[in-house]
Structure 1
Amino acid sequence: MPRSALAVVLLAVAQFLVVFDTTSFAVALPLVARDWGLAIAGLTWLLTAYSVCFAALPVLAGALGRAFGQRRVLMGGLALSSVAAAAPAVFSAPWVLMASRAVQGVAAAAITAGALALIDATHPAGPGRDRALNVHFAVVACATPAALLPCTLLLDASETEKTIFWVQAAAGVLLLLLVPLALAESAPEPAARRRVGAAALAVVPLGFLAWFADWLGDRSVSATTVIVIAVAGALVPSVLGWFGRGEGVPELLARLHRQRAAFGAYTVVALLAAGLSGAVLILTMALQTVGGLSPMRVGWALLPAVAGVVLGCLVLPGLAARVGLGATVAGACAVSAVGFVLLALPGAGYRFAEVLLPLLLIAFGCGVLALPVGFARSVSAALPRGLNASRQLGAGLGASLFIGIVTVAQQRFGGVTLSGMKDYRAFLSGAFRDCFELGTALCLTAAAIALLALPRRGDRTAAGDPGLSGGAPAGTAGSPGSSGR
């Protein structure tokens, strides 16, 4: 196998390890509650600690990689991940589990940032890098549903979450040994060291966003309020950019208008990542607590998401080349919204057969996440990295938002543990429907932003080689500010 191909495989496996950690922990929540004696409020704190750290650190991790070497950042993330996974397997104190989840969030940010940057370092600009980026993002998009089945098989066989911890620790150590053999260190940029401090400051607002999402749950804010705040915040860049069309407007508004394609792409990816991560997390809980499925059946029930993402990857590039990126992405978001609507219908029992079609629709629309080169060719190196950071931030925010809604329901019910009570399950069904209504709002907002900000023209010549450009339409090459006019 050529070294460049080996690098793509190894980086994809490293990214899969990040998703495996998140997915396995979500599936293992009932076992965690049983073995550690935690109520659902305690479980949500564990999930929030991870998502806040994961969402807060993408910019800093990227800056550290440029300053000191991306391979060092990746290896540091793998080392942290292995230690954090082994700690709760050895020690049974609840505070160890909480610290482990926070450190895992830090490790996930480092691994995710380092993996994408190393693709640039190991592949020269051109078709090879484009294909590598497409493969990497396809793995990212498919990883969550694909990881569910092996996670559930392990849990069913061992009946303890500590097996998952040991598997993750061993996998991290193995990757840590292979990385120096398969990947060369990227050249550090001395000038980038001066920007590390500024990147560190970005941790504050990004972490605040993730914490604020959790704060909504702690304050028992209604689900409607959560939806309004999330939609309004997502629309801000596009609305401000619309005001920047004229002459003599403030530079910030003019820049938002000039670079509306880039900002629109960032926002759409963040919204879809929030919806997909939230949907998988909440469905994992709903299928177990309301539908009564075993962990293994949950894995089988969520597996159609892989087929949906793959179908999206096959269909969307050619469609974008013909009808335009904006219309294609908006249509894909609308398809995802339909899936969320089906899950939010009154009377949904969240049983095996009831979630297959909605999940397939959600995943098809979220196939957009696997098309970074569909937003811009890799000659605009900043944009794929920005899309990766947006996906990372969106996934963290989505987990916090969806968990916050469930926390509200638990608080209003009075703190009942996951004991299988019939009335508790019925009450919690309403919280799950609120979550899926939030997912609907996020997808429809992404559709509106795609129509407002992304290029509308198609380019039939690009459809012939989706590996070269991801089916990118005319107007998406060049600088991140390309608007496609």
Structure 2
Amino acid sequence: MTQPSSTAHAHPGTAPPPDPRRWAALALLCVAQFMLILDVTVINVALPDMAVDLELGRTTLTWAVTAYTLCFGGLMLLGGRLADALGARRTLLAGLAVFTAASLVTGLAQDAPALLGGRIAQGVGAALLSPAALSLVTTAFHGAERTRALGVWAALGGSGAAAGVLLGGALTEGPGWRWVFYVNVPVGLAVLVALPALVPARPPRPARLDLPGALLVTSGTAALIYGLVEAGDSGWTGSGTLLPLASAVVLYAVFGAVERTSRAPLMDLRMFTRRPVQAGAFLMLVATALLIAFFFLGSVYLQHARGFGPLETGLVFLPVAVATGLGAHLGSRLVGTLGSRPTAVAGLLVAAAGCAPLTRLSDTGSVYAVLLPGFAVASLGIGAVFVTATTTALALVDHQEAGLASGVVNTFHEVGGSIGVAVVSTVAATGIERGTVGGFTDAFTLCAVAAAVAAVLSLALVPRGKPQPTGGPHAH
């Protein structure tokens, strides 16, 4: 997000004495962040049951996933500025309260508007909570301790996504899909009660808020996703598709103009002149789009076309989570020895190779012989791309710009998930609505092509060289 405070760069001799409560506070902050990551994927396995209970069509199911990540990513930079202006602890508690209440509303939903309204509110709460929590982590720890704390924080990303599909399956098959959201309520309330005693209040820093910028970039992305989803019903040349896509272009252009003239821009567009940031944002967008698309497509295919139960579906994704983590570990070693470009290209080519068997799915073939190995191989490559995206953007820019670069990359992380689900939902529209395999194979073919094209583009976009850690903040 935004750079948390000047103490992030203080010399060891001038750092304030460590707070004895810092590790307990980190544990609670990690629990809160874990809930946010969980909610990106936990809903996927529950989608078929939600569709039956609430009579939801493909479009609404797609928005049930993307509304959350859209608001989370689109408002994250504003959340970071609010943490500066109002104080990180106050912003965190406000975000946690909104997220917890929104989870209850979503679980109680009886129709599509209530469900989507709750998901939007969850995204708003997450956008307030996450950057404020990261700010508190980076200011509570110093030196080697900060590196350890940020390592724990970064590990939440993969584990949260993995736990999401497994927990989603267990809850949906057990007490029901509503508990996918209800589970956040007692956890959120417990953290709300405990955090004030462990996290000291720090004075806010003066900061201007770029509310017009936040609304423009979020509205532009919403219009983009709406157009991509609508293409599944109206076709790519229909007015219902082209008008929202054109609106997105206009809104992004206005956003760029506002940011260039603002005294306190939400996003310093000059960051996009930095090649490492361009590369990191691109890689993060592609990797997240592919991974969240896998969760979405795989869950609907297994339950609609193959008759799997929610828990069995969640278990199928466990090797995917393990492979993603292994890929991230391997990627971190390769980036340090070979450099960013070879690691990114290799990771994307492995992802494309993993998608290849998914293009030949059938109504009768073995899931464990085709889909599961394909997902695992593709996820191994995607894990390496995630690490390359983060290290390239943060370690190849100046130290003082690490916070800004982190905010840009994390925004593309959430928005990438929204765009990925929107695109594959449209391509797989016939399969999702009729439970036939054809639409799914088309969507996985697109994933394979996208990964291969991204590998070629990475040859030109990703800079040479081996990143050196800056210690700058990063989220997931």
Task: Report the TM-score range of the alignment, normalised by the length of the smaller protein.
Answer: 0.7 to 0.9
Matched, 1:108 2:116: no
> Quick one: distance in 1 between partners of 2:39 and 2:471?
36
Higher mean alpha-carbon deviation, 357-366 vs 260-269, is at: 357-366
Deviation readout 1:332-388 (Å, 9 max, x if unpaired): 121112112221225375724432222222222222325634543466222223221
> Quick one: distance in 1 between partners of 2:204 and 2:162?
35
Partner AA of 2:55 in structure 1:
G
Alignment partner of 1:389 out of 411, 415, 430: 411
Higher mean alpha-carbon deviation, 339-348 vs 276-285, is at: 339-348
* Closer/same/farther in 2, CA of residues 101 and 218 from structure 1, 3 Å limit: farther
> Quick one: distance in 1 between partners of 2:203 and 2:428?
45
Residue 425 of structure 1: aligned partner: 435
Describe how 1:140-179 pairs up with structure 2 within 5 A: 140-158=157-175, 160-179=176-195
CA contact (8 A) 1:55 1:210 kept: no
Shift of the alpha carbon at 1:269? 0.7
Shift of the alpha carbon at 1:293? 1.2
Alignment partner of 2:155 out of 106, 119, 138: 138
Higher mean alpha-carbon deviation, 290-299 vs 103-112, is at: 103-112
Matched, 1:328 2:343: yes
SS at match of 1:457: coil
Alignment partner of 2:294 out of 279, 282, 286: 279
Deviation readout 1:5-41 (Å, 9 max, x if unpaired): 3344333322221233333322112221222233444
> Quick one: distance in 1 between partners of 2:290 and 2:310?
22
Describe how 1:211-222 pairs up with structure 2 within 5 A: 211-221=226-236
Matched, 1:441 2:449: yes
CA contact (8 A) 1:130 1:373 kept: no
CA contact (8 A) 2:172 2:178 kept: no
> Quick one: distance in 2 between partners of 1:127 and 1:443?
36
Alignment partner of 2:46 out of 21, 24, 28: 28
| Number of positions where the alignment pairs a residue of Structure 1 with one of Structure 2 | 420
> Quick one: distance in 2 between partners of 1:4 and 1:118?
10
TM-score by length of 2: 0.78
CA contact (8 A) 1:55 1:207 kept: no
CA contact (8 A) 2:276 2:392 kept: no
Residue 239 of structure 1: aligned partner: none
> Quick one: distance in 2 between partners of 1:109 and 1:306?
24
Residue 188 of structure 1: aligned partner: 204
SS at match of 1:161: coil
TM-score by length of 1: 0.77
Matched, 1:202 2:235: no
> Quick one: distance in 1 between partners of 2:41 and 2:472?
35
Residue 421 of structure 1: aligned partner: none
> Quick one: distance in 2 between partners of 1:399 and 1:2?
43
Pairwise CA RMSD: 3.2
CA contact (8 A) 2:272 2:278 kept: no
Matched, 1:72 2:90: yes
Alignment partner of 1:359 out of 363, 375, 386: 375
> Quick one: distance in 2 between partners of 1:478 and 1:131?
10
Higher mean alpha-carbon deviation, 298-307 vs 162-171, is at: 162-171
Deviation readout 1:304-353 (Å, 9 max, x if unpaired): 12211221232122211221111112211211121122212253757244
CA contact (8 A) 2:83 2:132 kept: yes
Matched, 1:99 2:117: yes
CA contact (8 A) 1:60 1:202 kept: no
Matched, 1:318 2:340: no
CA contact (8 A) 1:52 1:400 kept: no
CA contact (8 A) 2:77 2:407 kept: no
> Quick one: distance in 2 between partners of 1:88 and 1:390?
25
> Quick one: distance in 2 between partners of 1:55 and 1:194?
17
Identity among equivalent pairs (%)? 27
Describe how 1:224-235 pairs up with structure 2 within 5 A: none
* Closer/same/farther in 2, CA of residues 322 and 257 from structure 1, 3 Å limit: same
Shift of the alpha carbon at 1:286? 1.0
> Quick one: distance in 2 between partners of 1:12 and 1:370?
20
> Quick one: distance in 2 between partners of 1:184 and 1:119?
12
